[in-house]
Structure 1
Amino acid sequence: MFSARKKALGEAVADMCHHQQGSHGWFAFHECLGEVAASREAAGLDRLLASLWRSRPHISDAHTITLLGIAVRHHLLEHSGPGDVFDPRLPLSRRTSALTDLLERRGDVIARHMESYSNSYTGARRFLLPQLVIGAFADRFAVPGVRLLDLGTSIGLLPRQLNNEAVFRRFAPDLRWHPAAPPYRSIPLEFVCGVDRPPLPTLDWVRTCHGPSDYYEQRFEEVLWSLEQSERAGRDVRLRPLDLLDSPGLAAFLTDHRVNVVTCNFVLYQYGEDVRRELVRTVTGALDAPGLLLLMDPSHALARQGCAVHAYQDGSTEALHIADVSDAHFMGDVTVHPDMGVVAGPEAYR
């Protein structure tokens, strides 16, 4: 079973090397990881994977790959180690040798990071779509108070950004909607909370989750700016540790706080299909009516650009495919699908 799973991981790495945005920071690592995974001299990687898959059996290949890159980068930054594995200017053989050596010597430490944390990449632009969709949903169904929970919230940036028109105005022009976007509305927020797998990620960890490149430095600067702009709102946003795989705990939290809107962005790709179905079932079964679960997840398991947006309403586990976004960093095009009209009203699809 281990060899079959490792083979699948190697195939996923090879696919990710063809990502259109590979040059933005992670391509050099993915390229040498593929070489290490295919090597017969990869004892360090094998031990790390065996440990990880015992402690986190439901982790997806895409999440394993991204989390390994983040954990390696975090370790090198923490210990001021050379970043050869991330330097595309170096020969592949040198990068591969550096990664093989690091995993052999420090694989146990890197594995512990992977067992404790997740990919907590935080995009400052990803709130743009939830802002419009939740606002339209609340207006269409006359929801007097939105009680919102953000699953896999990282540092809680998205819930803090909601209803911040200054942040919205900065980023919204870079997103083109086809045929049209729902109009901007203020969401009648009554309760706002974010939860994530303990321990909650720090801003330093989030920075490590941004690739080592100028492109990702710009994205992280947007995060810092958005945090500053949303400082006042952040005082009203509660952040709580909660493992999303704890279905009874999650259901109890939803019912205890009478949550009627849940956002879950770039989280479910981290798990296998059975876990995804269970989370949808748990959330939709516990939401106050009228309830909305809004999911955004990368297309093609991070091997290609873009993300798909789905919604679930009124306790149903049937997905409504409401939109596709050409770039998961929310710069580019949003293609609106007819199901958007179910959530946001028919005018949203005219």
Structure 2
Amino acid sequence: MTSTRGESLRAALTDMLRHQQGNHGWAVLHEGLAGVAAADGPTALDALLAEVWLKRPYITDAHAITLLGIAVQHHTLHDGGPSEVFDAKTPLPVRVRLLAGLLAERRAELTRLMAEHSNSYTGARRFLVPQLVIGAFAQARGIERVRLMDLGTSIGLLPRQLNVEPVFDRFAPDLHWHPAAPPFRRIPLEYVCGVDRPPLPTLEWVRACHGPSDYYERRFGEVLWSLDQAKTAGRYDVPLRPLDLLDVRALADALTSARINVATCTFVLYQYAEDVRRRVIDTVLGALDRPGLLLVMDPSHGLARMGCSVHAYVDGSTEALHVADVSDAHCMGDVTVRPGMGVLAG
């Protein structure tokens, strides 16, 4: 792996290996990938990545690495691939050899998965911040009807969770706000929907997006429990539609035709190069009804460290308001309120 882009990806992989939560499942595979990437001469990994970059030129290094891990796990779960590549007890040279063999033998399948899908990890706790921030925004602006679209919605968990108090009550105590959390307010939802790039993610794919560890098994269990709660609350029938956010004309049409005034975008924009992110944001801001809110949550350090940042764009302004920082991107731990929250909440 000697190309400029290959070297950039290898540097990102090295950085991700130092992630504080590496023991939660992905670090073992990342270690094996680093071993494959260090090999002299062209490898199946080089060929696979070249194809993916051709099909998805705007993909970031962090997303490519994560998506490759998901594709490998999907294969091992459903096609009987070598699960030892995720086993820390298997010696590293063996893991590297098995992974190199898998990449060579299943390159076409893995490339297809990476070309057609994104990291659709769905955290059951991530709705906590939008619930409180949007509630505060609607209260401060006197908004009586919120029409909300969740961009990059995966299986639509976040829009289904909004206003479902049993779910909020279970997870909220594990998130500590500093100096204080906004009060829980029911968002005056008139309409809620979600969009994601086709094909729409399945629950099976979301399972593969959770790392192979007890930690992620618990997180996936929270997803299943939350879906059941949404059904009980009558919030399961949220319309989801296939829409690629990079098709900005279709995105603008979808927002304007549904008269959307609040959009959420959670762990989606980090997947794209900076100029592409800017184009998506500008499109959303130009299409939202007023008063309008775009709420963006993304990793603080491109998946190389714990934590995420929350930014908001209000009434079409391209100036991002820094609303909060969360110590753990799975929305446990601490939330530090930033000045942008005061602007939103009045």
TM-score range, shorter chain: over 0.9
Match of 2:28? 28
* 1:144-155 equivalences in 2 (<5 Å): 144-155=144-155
Q: Is the 8 A contact 2:135 2:184 kept in 1?
A: yes
Q: Give the conservation status (yes or no) of the 8 Å contact 1:76–1:82.
A: yes
CA deviation vs aligned residue, 1:116-160 (integer Å, no higher than 9, x gap): 000000000000000000011111101110000000000000000
- Output the CA distance in 2 between the equivalents of 1:22 and 1:188: 39
> Is 2:56 the counterpart of 1:56?
yes
- 1:324 pairs with 2:325: yes
Q: What one-letter code is carried by the residue in structure 2 that aligns with 1:198?
A: P
Give the Cα–Cα distance (whole angstroms) in 2 for the partners of residues 58 and 154 of structure 1: 20
Partner deviation per Cα, 1:131-190 (whole Å, 9 max, x = no partner) = 000011111101110000000000000000000010000000000000011110000000
Matched with 1:141 is: 141
Q: What amino acid is aligned across from residue 261 of structure 1 in structure 2?
A: V
Q: Tell me the CA shift for residue 41 of structure 1.
A: 4.8
Check the 8 A contact 1:42/1:100 in 2, yes or no.
no
1:42 CA drift (Å): 4.8
**Counterpart contact for 2:86–2:212, Cα < 8 Å:** yes
Q: CA deviation at 1:46?
A: 1.2
- Quote the offset at 1:236 in angstroms: 3.7
Contact 2:48-2:107 at 8 Å conserved across structures: yes
Deviation at 1:273, TM superposition (A): 0.2
Instruction: Please tell me whether residue 240 in structure 1 is matched to residue 241 in structure 2.
Output: yes
CA distance in 1, matches of 2:140, 2:42: 56
Q: SS at 2:210's partner residue?
A: coil
Q: Could you tell me which residue of structure 2 aligns to residue 307 of structure 1?
A: 308
Alignment of 1:90-101 (within 5 A): 90-101=90-101
2:81 touches 2:102 (CA, 8 Å); kept in 1? no
Partner of 1:158: 158
TM-score, with normalisation over the residues of structure 1? Answer: 0.97
TM-score normalised to the size of structure 2? 0.98
Following the alignment from structure 1 to structure 2, what is the Cα–Cα distance between the partners of residues 184 and 104? 52
Residue 215 of structure 1 corresponds to 215
> In structure 1, the residue corresponding to 2:190 is in which secondary structure?
strand
Q: Partner letter of residue 4 of structure 1? A: T
Separation in 1 of the partners of 2:238 and 2:333? 29
1:89 Cα deviation (Å)? Answer: 1.0
Q: What SS does structure 2 have at the residue aligned with 1:252? A: helix
- The one-letter code sitting in structure 2 at the alignment partner of 1:287 is L
1:226 is aligned to 226
Q: Could you say what secondary structure the match of 1:324 adopts?
A: strand
Instruction: Measure the CA separation in 2 of the matches of 1:344 and 1:226.
Output: 28
Q: How does 1:116-131 map to 2 (within 5 A)?
A: 116-131=116-131
Which whole-Å CA distance do the structure 1 matches of 2:149 and 2:173 have between them? 27
1:42-68 Cα deviation digits (max 9, x unpaired): 521111111100110000000000000
| 1:311 aligned partner, one-letter code | A
Give, in angstroms, the shift of residue 234 of structure 1. Answer: 3.6
Deviation digits for residues 179-230 of structure 1 (CA, Å, limit 9, x no counterpart): 0111100000001000000000000100010000000000000000000000
RMSD over aligned CA atoms reads 1.1
Matches within 5 A, 1:7-22: 7-22=7-22
Opposite residue 303 of structure 1, the aligned amino acid is A
Match in the other structure for 2:82: 82
Q: Distance in 2 between matches of 1:270 and 1:244?
A: 11
Q: In the alignment, which residue of structure 1 is the partner of 2:169?
A: 169
Rounded Cα–Cα distance in structure 2 between residues aligned with 1:323 and 1:198: 31
Q: Does 1:258 align with 2:240?
A: no
CA distance in 1, matches of 2:174, 2:320: 27
Amino acid at match of 1:251: A
Identity over aligned pairs, percent:
67
SS at match of 1:301: coil
Report the Cα offset of residue 82 of structure 1.
2.2
* Greater Cα offset, 170-179 or 83-92: 83-92
2:190 maps to: 190
Which position in structure 1 is the counterpart of 2:250?
249
CA distance in 2, matches of 1:154, 1:183: 28
Contact 2:133–2:182 at 8 Å: present in 1 too? yes
Residues 235 and 125 (structure 1), Cα distance of their counterparts in 2 relative to 1, 3 Å cut: closer
Structure 1 position 235, deviation (Å): 3.9
Paired amino acid for 1:256? S
Moved more, 72-81 or 21-30: 72-81
Distance 2:105 2:305 in 1: 33
What secondary structure does 2:106 align onto?
helix
Cα shift at 1:90: 1.1
- Paired residue for 1:341? 342
Gaps of 5+ in 1: 346-350
- Return the letter of the residue paired with 2:141: F
